[in-house]
Amino acid sequence: MKLEKRDIAVRPRRLRRTDALRRLVRETCLNKDDLVAPVFISAGENKKHSISSMQGVYQWSIDRVQEEIDELLAVGIDKIILFGIPSVKDSTGSDSYSQNGIIQKSLQKLKQEYSDLFIITDVCFCEYTDHGHCGVIHDNDVSNDSTLSLLGKQALSHVEAGADMVAPSGMMDGMVGEIRLALDTGGFEHIPIMSYAVKYASAFYGPFRDAVESTPQFGDRKSYQMDPANIREALKEVELDILEGADIIMVKPALAYLDVISHVKDISNVPVACYNVSGEYSMLKAAAEKGWIDHDSAMMEMLLSMKRSGADIIISYFAKEAAALMKND
């Protein structure tokens, strides 16, 4: 019998029938090289301090952080981003740019013991200041221009101690240009900058503030972090940071801002990163603990959505667990 064209059914399901077929036509693939693991280092000794709002995440002292690094390397995660919690905080976050600061000492140790570990450092002040804000305070507000020179000083001190990349996160206007100038002047023109170009004033940061003890002591960060309602402003921030010398730009948070990641990817000529933040991590952990959701399936679907939206790099507290589930390709 001769079939008419109208009699031939369109059947997309043909390509979903077996696992081999699904893998053959898969459009987006997540792999270990996409992932960066955050690591928190705290002053003190013999410390593995559980963060109550982030199940399975710890503050580590310098003398024990190798336990975390060894576990990450064992599953194929060789890229980390460091956050430091100093013993003493002050109004300008001076530990962040001290040669004997928590991050500087951590870098020196880790680079001696793990020559192939790629270390990014968060460049900001909120975890180092006694007021919990991301810069120098003037008239009860963060002073953008007074903060810039200290950001350059902090970034340079991190690189001198061994950082492979710096990631400014404070959302100060001009921060990338200031850091690029400081690094180039210091002889580190080869060090890349991954800018938190698009960082929203989000409700999803709560557990992170427990992790680095950085809850603002007054007000909030809405005067310098972005309004969650805006996307054109996000594209402007990206364009400005690229012009100032950013090598990679980031969107933070990730899950509630997949549309922003997609738009940024469309206009960007540099790699795009996203930060799968603490609140996104903890809400999945809590739901899984209640038995309301399958942890591993939801975790992988969440990370895949970020890659599908356009992220080339995903910073995630799930990095170790996700990598353990991936095949060694």
Spatial distance between the Cα atoms of 263 and 81, rounded to a whole number of angstroms: 25
Name which of 299, 245, 242, 249 is nearest 276 in CA terms.
Answer: 299
Candidates 32, 79, 89, 199; catalytic one: 199
- Report residue 170 as tokens: 């404070």
Give the C-alpha separation, 249 to 72, whole Å. 24
Note if 32 is an active site residue.
no
Q: Quick one: which of 218, 217, 236 has its CA closest to 226? A: 236
Q: Which of 32, 79, 252, 307 is catalytic?
A: 252
Task: Dump the DSSP string for 181-234.
Answer: HHHHHTT-TT--BEEEEEEB--GGGHHHHHHHT---SSS-STTTSBPTT-SHHH
Longest CA pairwise span in the chain (Å): 85
Residue 307 catalytic? no
One-character DSSP codes across 20-41 = HHHHHT-S----GGGEEEEEEE
- Residue among 101, 230, 224, 121 nearest 167 (CA): 121
Decide: 239 and 232 in contact? Cβ < 8 Å. no
**For 259-289, b where at least 16 C-beta lie within 10 A, e where not — what string?**
ebbebbbeebebebbbbbbbbbbbebbeebe
b/e map of 197-228 (b: 16 or more CB within 10 Å)?
bbbbebebbebbbbbbebeeeeeebeebbbeb
Catalytic residue ranges? 199, 252
